[in-house]
């Protein structure tokens, strides 16, 4: 089977879906790897490096999308302005694996269904131990949490560490991290390394020990958080009454902080407002708010995605696609995630849809001309396709799964 990697077309995207060191495991598994010319340049990888590891450089983008399997960083809803450029190139029966934002932009997967593409969205990988090596959300959040602190430190007119000098003692910066998921924990660790006094807050009480283990003080508010975490380990959206009470309690805390980093995002939903205009106006001049949920609308009421806003001498940063800012390592991590997933999907050198495997079942979005993922169908307001009864096995022919794809017993 041929596995191909195109050059990313999302504006400002520097990552690539596969780095040269990821090619040998695929070649060993029986795949032929094809790379679009210049696909890895923005991430620091030349075409010659791919060739040296066993890949072939394609003649152009059409050859890439003619492959059996296409690996991308951004497709469908994750590339809303440019994904349509590749619709004419989509191959019926082909497999495409990428980040797709299927819950946030469910209609964007419909052209892939119409083209007969088997589409997998890696954001949908379940949070289970076996799937950790395929979890792109965690990998990219690690990069984003690190980058967020560096960008915020640059914008803050203070130094992070306490310094005792002949000119007097410089007090350390006070940092509040709101949301202790992967990005938040990495932000805590990075801010502590730079010498800040770090406080962390999360509606999930279970993360208290993780925050404290990284050297942060854990902020506890008197709120009912029993329903704050879903079965997959992700923070769950709460009702507006909860957020209103939370904001009231946070106002006093935020007024004392030099930097607030917010990370609260729920897949497929608008980010909750945690930092209001009133809170920002209560912060000291020169303070900074770094909003990691900007792509989902932002946790700060004043955030503008992709922009820097200054409101009453407080700077609000709303960066998007932070992981692309560290494209080399982000690509290395993403590439590991996607190749691990591909090797699970094609254990015997060919793609097999084992729908009894929850990783494959949960990430499969389109197949056989239909949107087949239950959560995406719900978001689209349509019923998932009815399961077809399995035909009687024919001699020397493997049985089929409910979508008509052959698989072994």
Instruction: Report d(CA 18, CA 343) in Å as an integer.
Output: 14
pTM score of the predicted model: 0.86
C-alpha to C-alpha distance for 373 and 40, rounded to whole angstroms: 31
Q: How far is CA 408 from CA 340, 349, 367, in A?
A: 20, 13, 19
Residues 208 and 219: their CA atoms lie apart, in Å, by 9
- CB contact burial 27-40 (16+ within 10 A = b; e otherwise): eebebebbbbeebb
Active site residues: 127, 132, 135, 138, 234
The conformation of residue 96, written as its DSSP 8-state character, comes to E
- Crossing angle of helices 136-155/182-193, nearest 10°? 40
Find, among 399, 397, 375, 377, the residue nearest to 389 by Cα: 399
Query: In angstroms, rounded to a whole number, what is the distance separating the alpha carbons of residues 321 and 195?
Result: 26
Task: Kindly list the structural domains of the chain, giving each domain's residue range(s) and its CATH number in brackets, ordered by start.
Answer: 2-134+326-380 (3.40.50.720), 156-320 (3.40.50.720)
Would you give per-residue pLDDT tens digits along the chain (409 residues)?
999 999 999 999 999 999 999 999 999 999 999 999 999 999 999 999 999 999 999 999 999 999 999 999 999 999 999 999 999 999 999 999 999 999 999 999 999 999 999 999 999 999 899 999 999 999 999 999 999 999 999 999 999 999 999 999 999 999 999 999 999 999 999 999 999 999 999 988 889 999 999 999 999 877 665 555 555 545 555 667 777 777 777 888 999 999 999 998 877 788 988 999 999 999 999 999 999 999 999 999 999 999 999 999 999 999 999 999 999 999 999 999 999 999 999 987 788 899 999 999 999 999 999 999 999 999 999 988 865 444 333 333 343 343 444 444 3
């Amino acid at each position: 089977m041929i596995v191909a990697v195109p050059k990313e077309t999302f504006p400002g995207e520097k990552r690539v879906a596969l780095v040269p060191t990821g090619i040998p495991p695929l070649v060993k598994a029986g795949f032929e790897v094809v790379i679009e010319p210049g696909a890895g340049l923005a991430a620091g990888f030349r075409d010659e490096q791919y060739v040296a590891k066993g890949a072939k450089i394609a003649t152009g983008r059409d050859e890439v999308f003619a492959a059996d399997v296409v690996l991308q960083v951004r497709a469908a809803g994750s590339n809303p302005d440019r994904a349509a450029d590749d619709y004419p190139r989509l191959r019926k029966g082909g497999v495409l694996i990428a980040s797709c934002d299927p819950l946030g932009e469910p209609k964007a997967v419909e052209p892939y269904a119409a083209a007969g593409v088997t589409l997998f969205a890696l954001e949908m990988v379940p949070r289970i131990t076996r799937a950790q090596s395929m979890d792109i959300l965690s990998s990219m959040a690690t990069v984003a949490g690190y980058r967020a602190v560096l960008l915020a430190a640059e914008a803050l007119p203070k130094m992070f560490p306490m310094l005792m000098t002949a000119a007097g003692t410089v007090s350390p910066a006070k940092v509040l991290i709101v949301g202790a998921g992967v990005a938040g924990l990495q932000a805590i660790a990075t801010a502590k390394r730079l010498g800040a006094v770090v406080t962390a807050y999360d509606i999930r009480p279970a993360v208290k020990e993780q925050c404290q283990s990284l050297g942060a003080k854990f902020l506890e508010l008197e709120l009912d958080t029993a329903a704050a975490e879903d079965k997959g380990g992700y923070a769950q959206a709460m009702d507006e009454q909860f957020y209103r009470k939370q904001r009231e309690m946070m106002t006093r805390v935020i007024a004392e902080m030099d930097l607030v980093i917010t990370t609260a995002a729920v897949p497929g939903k608008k980010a909750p407002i945690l930092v209001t205009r009133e809170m920002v106006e209560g912060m000291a001049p020169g303070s900074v708010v770094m909003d990691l949920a900007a792509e989902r609308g932002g946790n700060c009421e004043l955030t503008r995605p992709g922009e820097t806003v200054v409101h009453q001498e407080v700077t609000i940063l709303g960066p998007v696609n932070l992981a692309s800012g560290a494209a080399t390592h982000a690509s290395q991590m993403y590439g590991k995630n996607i190749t691990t997933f591909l090797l699970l999907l094609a254990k015997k050198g060919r793609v097999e849809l084992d729908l009894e495997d929850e990783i494959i079942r949960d990430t499969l979005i389109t197949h056989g001309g239909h949107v087949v993922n239950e959560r995406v169908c719900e978001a689209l307001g349509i019923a998932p396709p009815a399961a077809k009864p399995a035909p009687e096995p024919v001699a020397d022919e493997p049985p089929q799964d409910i979508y008509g794809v052959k698989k072994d017993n």
